[in-house]
A = this chain, B = another copy of it.
Amino acid sequence: MRADGRRKLTMDDIKAAADRLKNWGRWGADDEIGTLNHTRPADVAAAARCVRSGRVHSLALPFDRSGPQGGKTNYPALGRFNPVHVMLRTGTDAYAGRLDHRKIRASDDMVIMPMQCGTQWDALAHVFYENSMWNGYDCRNVTSNGAAKCGIEKTREKMVGRGVLLDIGRLVGLASLPDGFAIGRDLLDRAESHFGVKVGRGDYLLVRTGHMERKLADGNWDGYSGGDAPGLAFDTLDWMQEKQIAAIATDTWGVEVRPCETDAVNQPLHWIAIPMMGLTLGEIFYLAELATECAADHRYDFMFVAPALPVTGAVGSPVNPLAIR
């Protein structure tokens, strides 16, 4: 039994969900983008019509050494680190007269970053179910040389559509949902009716828990990356399948509730969402300002544009998602 009185998931539950929600072949045997197919050009055109004031909100955390990696949790570290940004030429070089042989004074720089160090998309090559990934591709397609199938570059002309925010923190009346709080499908339904918005086919669903804001207020990321968190319950997989959303993103590290709803596996929602459903997950999205705006004018949909960086063979991508209202 879980702390909230619900029974824990078993391996059988997970297997049943894998069978029930499996979308392999749904968009052809050679598909590599899964539910992103739910958004059609006409949906993009409709999304553009959501733009009224023209205000743009970035949903990205800054990419720098103050980022969410490196905090302590109760779980083994994954080895991700915050971006290391280094300069290749500087204004101080210019000032010191050391660039003038080029006849132009210009700075230059580079970055070293895990693809999933901050605000980020998971590619469908990110999680495997047994020896398979999305659409039944063999997991051996992802070698040290990168992902030969389902790499993030396959999404380069996706990640555009109607965005819908379901602000569960606000719905429940808490600045932040507590760690371990499981957002069930019932709560998603209630949020739709409370906020007067319907999630539809091809939408990009953003779910706010307040978790990130809690950590930002603390000035300390301990417990955030890979730690306990509020998040989606396993039963929302069916809801998302029915709704035919394009993708889901949250203000947490890993979309789903932690501690996990089961001891059988780690991150059960990931087991099903990515390799079986082909559902793209977005994580570490900064939703605070957008939520405030939406609450102010009671409008919870907008145009959403969040293009992944098409790094060939990458299994994730940092992103600066924009909500355009």
The interface of chain A, by Cβ under 8 A from chain B, is: 40-49, 51-58, 60, 62-66, 70, 76, 78-81, 83-98, 102-117, 125-131, 133, 138-147, 153, 156-158, 160, 264-267, 270-271, 303, 305-316, 318-322, 324
Nearest CB in chain B: distance from A214 CB, A: 22
Most buried by B among A51, A90, A156, A313: A90
Are the CB atoms of B308 and A141 closer together than 8 Å? no
Contacts of A98 in B (CB 8 A): 92, 140, 143, 145
Q: A54-B43, A58-B307 are in contact. Are A90 and B322 (CB under 8 A)?
A: no
* Neighbour of A110 across the interface among B112, B140, B312, CB < 8 A: B112
Contacts of A87 in B (CB 8 A): 86-87, 142-146, 315
Contacts of A41 in B (CB 8 A): 53-56
Contacts of A52 in B (CB 8 A): 45
Ranked nearest first, the 5 interchain pairs of A and B with the lowest CB-CB distance are A91-B142, A44-B54, A41-B54, A45-B54, A91-B139
Contacts of A305 in B (CB 8 A): 160, 305, 307, 322, 324
A114 to B318, alpha carbons, bound, how many Å?
15
Are the CB atoms of A95 and B146 closer together than 8 Å? no
Are the CB atoms of B108 and A322 closer together than 8 Å? no
Are the CB atoms of B310 and A62 closer together than 8 Å? yes
Are the CB atoms of B312 and A64 closer together than 8 Å? yes
Are the CB atoms of A90 and B144 closer together than 8 Å? yes
Contacts of A42 in B (CB 8 A): 54
Contacts of A267 in B (CB 8 A): 104
Are the CB atoms of B103 and A265 closer together than 8 Å? yes
- Identify 29 residue pairs between A and B in the complex whose beta-carbon atoms are under 8 Å apart, listed by A's number: A40-B54, A42-B54, A44-B55, A46-B54, A48-B54, A57-B157, A63-B310, A63-B312, A80-B88, A85-B312, A87-B145, A90-B93, A91-B133, A93-B143, A93-B145, A96-B96, A96-B140, A104-B127, A106-B270, A107-B126, A107-B142, A108-B114, A109-B114, A110-B112, A110-B115, A111-B111, A112-B112, A308-B320, A309-B309
Are the CB atoms of B92 and A90 closer together than 8 Å? yes
Are the CB atoms of B109 and A58 closer together than 8 Å? no
Contacts of A113 in B (CB 8 A): 110-111
Are the CB atoms of A158 and B56 closer together than 8 Å? yes
Q: A41-B54, A127-B105, A128-B105 are in contact. Are A60 and B156 (CB under 8 A)?
A: yes
Q: A98-B92, A110-B112 are in contact. Are A83 and B311 (CB under 8 A)?
A: yes
Contacts of A96 in B (CB 8 A): 91-92, 95-96, 140, 143
Q: A88-B79, A91-B142, A92-B92 are in contact. Are A109 and B104 (CB under 8 A)?
A: no
Most buried by B among A46, A62, A96, A270: A96
Nearest CB in chain B: distance from A68 CB, A: 14
Are the CB atoms of A56 and B311 closer together than 8 Å? no
Nearest-neighbor residue (CB-CB) of A51 within chain B: B48
A182 to B106, alpha carbons, bound, how many Å?
23
Most buried by B among A86, A147, A312: A86
Are the CB atoms of A157 and B310 closer together than 8 Å? no
